[in-house]
Structure formats: C-alpha cells, structure tokens
Chain A
Amino acid sequence: MSDELEQELKEGLRRVPAPDGFADRVMKRAARKERLRIRVMPQRVSYVWQVAVAAMVLLAVLFGVGEIAQRREERRKAELVEHQFDVAMRVTGKTLSGVGERISKTGTKDERGEQ
C-alpha cells in the first residue's frame, strides 16, 4: 500500500524538462508587465502624488481643526462682546436715567415755586 503511494508520488513529482522557449516567454511577459506599470505610474510621479495626497490630507485636517478653533474663538468673543455691550448699556442707561430723574425733580421744584 505504502509502496504504491510512494511510487505514485515519485511519478507525480518527477522532474520534467520545461518546454522549449518557456523561460524566454516568461521573461518577455514579465518585462512587458513592468513596462506597462512604469507607463501607468512612473516611480517619480508616484512619489510626488503620495506627497501631494499626504499634504492635502494634512491641510484638510489642519483646516478642519482650525475651523473648529476659530468658531470656538468667535463664540468666546461674541459672549465677551455681549457682556461688554450689556455693561456699556447699563452705564449709559443709569447715567441717562439719573439725569432724567434730576431734571424731573428740578422741574417739579420749579413748578412748585411758580405756584
């Protein structure tokens, strides 16, 4: 049984000489594929593209982060401006209403004096 199997293996794995011109055909095909690959994307162009794509991705990420930071900064500024405007209007309002009160008091005194 094992002799039969051994025989079959020997037969199957027997060294067979390559057909004529096989090595040449393989080498030609490999060279043609290499030529095609170089024509589609030469090594140098491929490197430039890689750098360009990496730079674009980096820029996109940086601009995205910058946009978020800018928006946050704008919101902070808007809150500060709202607070400052409120303070300014309170000071103005208080001053104007104080003047108004004093004028109306003077007016009342004058009216009383006239009567």
Chain B
Amino acid sequence: MPDSIVVKQLNAWFGEAHVLRDIDLTIAAGGVTAIIGPSGCGKSTFIRCLNRMHEVVPGARVTGTVLLGGEDVYAWDPVLLRRRVGMVFQRANPFPTMSVFDNAVAGLRLAGVRNRSRLAEAAERALRQAALWDEVKDALGKSGASLSGGQQQRLCIARALAVEPSVLLMDEPCSALDPIATAQIEELVHELQTTLTIVIVTHNMQQAARVSTWTGFFLLGELIEFGVTKELFRTPKDPRTEAYITGRFG
C-alpha cells in the first residue's frame, strides 16, 4: 500500500557544500510526483535523502525530518527503510552475474528468502507489474545484461517491485532510453501509481507534464514551487518557475 512522505526543513551537505536548503514538502500517498529543475539543483540529492542513499557518500550530512507514513526514516535501520522505499536509477544496472530471474528476485533471495515457489511467484508478479513478463517468460535464465536498454530498465523496476515497497523513487529513469522504451516506462508509471507512491526526477519537462499529478521545481538547492502539475504548467506562480519551464533560463 502506498505511503505518504512528509519532508520538513530538510537540509543536506556534501562536506562543506550546502546542497539542499530548508526543503518543506508533502508527497501524497499514491499518485506520481515529479521533481524538475536544472542540473545541479539538488533534485537527485533530494530523492536520495528519502531512502537515505545520500548517506552512502562519505562526507554527506543531513538535518531535518523525513516522515514515511508518519514515521521518521532517520530513526530507522536504513537497510529496512530501503526495502520499503525502492529506487530505480538513471542507467539500468541489472546484476551482470545473474540471470533475468535471479535479478528479479535478488532483493528477496539475498535477504534470505529460500522458498523456490515463493520466489517464482514473486518473480512473475514483479515482471508482470513491470510489463516485462511476456517478453522474458521463456528466457528467464538468460543473462540480465543480454536484454535491450528498455528491457533492462524494466527489469530493474521489477527487481525493485519484487520486495513490495510502498514508495518507488525514480532518478531520471528514461534519460538513457529511446522514445519507444520511454513511452513504455511512462505507461508503466501510470499503471503503478494506484499501488505505489512514485517520485520521479526528470529533466524532461514534457515527461513531467505527461506522467505526474504533482510537480516540484527545484533551483540551486531550494524548492521554488510545488503544486498540481496542471496548474504549474499552465500558470506557474513563481517567475523563476515560469522562466525555467518556458526555456528562458540562463
């Protein structure tokens, strides 16, 4: 079941660099929220703070609160948190030493699940959810790296979905894909939003406009505007948002 995310006064540093400033926002449960902004505005850092991947970098520091379904994620074991908040990256990164099947269930198997029928069922469910099942069901033993770019990314999505998270974070998932693969993934996002909260970072504004219900605009580490996508792209309130989305930036 999807969870809401409430962010209060979130600040993040890489060493001395203050990359996120006083971020306050609420992401509703279920539905798709897009995060847009120019390069270096902090959008990737922001979503990495939501599943505490930001801390993996040496010298990274965070203050503020992030509540997932009402609970403070910084009080949790990060390993458990990351099972509830899944992540898909810019470049598809299936495990090269594993087959399609093994990749899909990697999150479960490496966490200790041994029961083969349970794994098989989870693999099928996740691959169906990722709209990949029909394409790979007869080739589950093939190497994960032998699939096409779009298929690999869907495999990574399936891998993330197999552990049944309540939130899925997507960091520019389509930027390395061709338009058809991109369209497939956008369609997927549309279908997944009923069972998951999805936060998608994208530098493609048309994509944000197409897939999301809410959009947040980041600039230089600050959240400039956050609102319903329809409104933000028709009549943005902040002139900086207007300048960015009409391309008058720079």
Q: Do A and B bind each other?
A: no
